[in-house]
A = this chain, B = another copy of it.
Amino acid sequence: MDNANTGLGKVPEIITGNENDGDSGDYGDMSASDSDVQQALEVVFQSDNIHRRKSSLVPSNARPQNGRKHTNCFVHSLLDENNGIYVPSHNASYKGLAQERKVDKDPDGFLDAGHQSRLLTKKQIADMAFGIREFAKRLAHIRLKMNVQHVFLLAKAHDATLIANTREVAEWLLKRDQPYKVYVEDTLEHNKVFDAEGLLASDNSFEGRLKFWTSELCAKRPQAFDIVLALGGDGTVLYASWLFQRVVPPVLAFSLGSLGFLTKFDYDKFQSTLSGAFQEGITVSLRLRFEATVMRSQVHNGDSARDLVEQLIGEESEDNHTHKPDGTHNILNEVVVDRGPNPTMSTIELFGDDEHFTTVQADGICVSTPTGSTAYNLAAGGSLCHPDNPVILVTAICAHTLSFRPIILPDTIVLRAGVPYDARTSSWASFDGRERVELRPGDYVTISASRFPFPSVLPLERKSKDWVDSISRTLNWNSRQRQKSFKEWS
């Protein structure tokens, strides 16, 4: 597979245009690459603008010099070649300056700052966050024409109905004129409901085109997939984010029931939706993810009076050996640090960059992306947040003080939430509602904007209204019909 090493799941050979202005939010301000049938990577102007945009088809600096070399395209250069969103290169002459210091502990002395965002400098993080905003804004106005070849099907494999749906979609795809390769979870290979054998036997053109993915494949070769089709609910979309920890192919999510915050398409119309998407292109909303790394306190002999605040922002902050990283997750909704199975409250030290914000006494804290604002954040009392906002939402869970209120921080801040050394109990961290990890006294979690945002496919025709629609639908706001007030006293 010659062209597999492309970003954003290789799929979209989009081409941006005129890069000079600050925010080219214009729908038509995109220039076309040369048509390239072999790769079928194509830039499409929104229909009604075609006639008058011809004159602007001037290659920008960022666009491919050579339409055929798709890894030169804007998306690829940002997401793939740079191992995620572009981070401006490190200028040696800055070394030693505070803003050029890595924002978190680096016990192993990584030379490659690009590994984890917590090992970027403050300036690099700010630049990266800014880069994502810029990129997201552009993507929101582009219709991406895809050359779909490899389709990834995702559903919860323990649910018989969903397995039947997966089979239905797989069969439909295999029957198209295009020789799509269809990937389903490896657990379905011998599943009776899915009946892979029967499917393959039904039409010999299917031979070699039904494939089985594993989570290892997702981790190692995310570029192998042109698009992810998720069937289920918002939880299935979260699962897609979980599988693709670095580059994520565009995810088009079908809801089996009512539409959710992330499931934008009705399963009942999957045929027309997919036909349209593959032929006319898609619109992608790039969602901020966080990168969260668990940092473990290292034992020091005879160190009886350790202080997490000193270690992170005080005198010991230069000592890279107080803590070691122990696992990193890219999350789409939220990181929660809470009391876990412990019946008493947690004490959590909260840091933003080099500041100690406060010591939270609570059941826990929820650090949410804008996408996650409608999930646990809302239950904990946080605000609804438009996904385009470049912010981090920090909300206490059952704060045991009256002075804590939900906080909205810029996504350029690096948060650290830790358990003080004198805490009586551990706390637990969970990532997108998955497995809890114990944080013992002295441990902490570093949370910052991820270099690997999540591309969510939106309905073309509703893209600008999508968020309000999802809020209205889910929280029962009635746009025209007035909300029934619970107060009817007059």
A interface residues (Cβ-Cβ under 8 A, vs B): 18, 20-28, 49, 52, 88, 93-94, 97-99, 122-123, 126-127, 130-131, 134, 233-235, 238, 260, 309, 333, 336, 340-341, 343-345, 347, 352-363, 370, 373-376, 378-386, 388-391, 393, 397-410, 413, 428, 430, 432-436, 464-465, 468, 471-472, 474-480, 482-490
Contact assessment for A376 and B97 in the assembled complex, using a CB-CB cutoff below 8 Å? no
Question: Which residues of B are found within 8 Å of A490, using beta-carbon distances?
Answer: 235, 238, 344, 433
Residues of B within 8 A of A122 (CB): 22-23, 25
- A358 in contact with B23 (CB, 8 Å): no
- Residues in B with CB closer than 8 Å to A363 are 363, 379, 397
Chain B residue at smallest Cβ distance from A237: B489
Contact in complex: B486, A94 (CB < 8 Å): no
Given A235-B490, A358-B478, A483 contacting B386 (CB threshold 8 A):
no
Please indicate the chain B residues that have their CB under 8 angstroms from the CB of A380 in the complex.
398
- CB nearest to A434 among chain B residues: B343
Cα separation A263 to B345 with both chains bound (whole Å): 21
Known: A20-B97, A361-B485, A361-B487. 17 other contacts (CB 8 A): A20-B98, A22-B127, A22-B134, A22-B353, A23-B130, A25-B123, A233-B488, A234-B489, A344-B433, A345-B379, A352-B468, A359-B483, A363-B363, A376-B487, A378-B405, A383-B407, A404-B477
Give CA–CA (A405, B476) in the complex, Å: 12
A397 CA to B345 CA in the complex, in Å? 13
9 nearest A-B pairs in the assembled complex, by CB-CB distance? A341-B341, A400-B485, A383-B406, A379-B398, A23-B130, A358-B477, A361-B485, A385-B408, A400-B487
Cα A405 to Cα B475 in complex, Å, equals: 9
A465 to B406, CA, bound (A): 19
Q: Which residues of B contact A341 (CB under 8 A)?
A: 340-341, 428, 436
Q: Which residues of B contact A362 (CB under 8 A)?
A: 379
Closest to A98 in B: B22
Copies in the complex: 4
A343 — which chain B residues lie within 8 A by C-beta?
Answer: 336, 430, 433-436
Chain B residue with Cβ nearest A396: B379
| Complex contact B399–A52 (CB within 8 A) | no
Measured between beta carbons, the chain B residues less than 8 angstroms from A479 are 356-359
Assess the A488–B260 pair: CB atoms within 8 A.
yes
In the complex, which residues of chain B have a beta carbon less than 8 angstroms from the beta carbon of A28? 97
Q: What residues on B are CB-neighbors of A123 within 8 Å?
A: 23, 25-26
- CB pair A489–B99 under 8 Å, yes or no, is no
A341 CA / B336 CA spacing, docked (Å): 13
Taking CB atoms, residues of chain B closer than 8 Å to A407 are: 383-386, 471
A150 vs chain B, min Cβ distance (A): 27
Cβ-closest chain B residue relative to A255? B488
Q: Give the distance in Å from the alpha carbon of A379 to the alpha carbon of B480 in the complex.
A: 22
Q: Given the complex, which residues of B lie within 8 Å of A309, measured CB to CB?
A: 480
Q: How far is the CA of A126 from the CA of B373 in the complex (A)?
A: 23
Contact B234 A488 (CB under 8 A): yes
Structural contact, A26 and B99, CB atoms closer than 8 A:
yes
The chain B residue with its CB closest to the CB of A378 is B486
CB distance from A364 to the nearest CB of B (A): 10
Contact A384-B401, Cβ < 8 Å, known A22-B353, A358-B477: no
| Residue among A94, A131, A343, A378 with most chain B CB within 10 A | A343
